[in-house]
Amino acid sequence: MLFSPCMLACSRTCSRILGLSLGTSALFATMANMALLFPNWDVTFLWRGLIGRPALLGAGLWGGGLMVFTAATLISLMGWRYGCFSKSGPCRSVLTALLSSGLALLGALICFITSGVALKDGPFCMFDVSFFNQTQAWTYGYPFKDLHNRNYLYDRSLWNSVCLEPSEAVVWHVSFFSILLCISLLQLLLVVIHFINSFLGLFCSLCEK
């Protein structure tokens, strides 16, 4: 088949682009999660242990970050046919594609689910309990988690009236977890494209032989 060498070259080029795209997205996910550990770029909240569980879990660091970056490195090596991939056969290529796809898929899914749950529960901040009942006391917690009758994501009047510390806690939380959610969604899309591209590359390799 005369078109198979051209398609094989396109498949490898696609792998290089996918590897670069996934690697870049992993770096952005890492930076977004790092920002969540330092609300308003203030390190004292981390030192005092006043950071929410989703941010401390670090799904953007090791899920959408490290795991996806590792997969991106494997994909790039396959695309450039570098090192042990320079003369790899179809079986090794498929196994590597499945490994890299699975690794990136798992990392992106973890980041996506964690970000979604974090956006649903709201930020960890200091709030006045009297806002919800008659007992006046300030405490740290998740004031929007059990707020069933109002959704803080759509009611912006709650953003500056509930959380007292850190300042702009809701904006910081929503902004960076939304970024993580979008990045992980993009990563999932790139993984699907890589999966399809890998099988096209395998088909072309077999045709070439």
pLDDT digits (tens, 9 = 90+) for 85-124: 445 555 566 677 788 889 999 999 999 999 999 999 999 9
139-156 pLDDT per residue, tens: 889 988 877 778 899 888
- How many domains does the chain contain in total? 1
Print the domain residue range for 183.
Answer: 5-123+166-208
Whether residue 40 is contained in a domain is answered as yes
Mean pLDDT over 58-86 rounds to 82
Question: Sheet containing 163-165: which strands, arranged edge to edge?
Answer: 138-141, 125-128, 163-165
Whether residue 41 is contained in a domain is answered as yes
Whether residue 159 is contained in a domain is answered as no
Whether residue 113 is contained in a domain is answered as yes
State the pLDDT at residue 155: 86
State the pLDDT at residue 208: 52
In this prediction the pTM is: 0.84
For 23, 46, 73, 89, 97, the CA distances from 191, given in Å and listed in that order, are 12, 33, 13, 22, 10
What φ, ψ does residue 40 adopt, rounded to 5°?
60, 25
Whether residue 129 is contained in a domain is answered as no
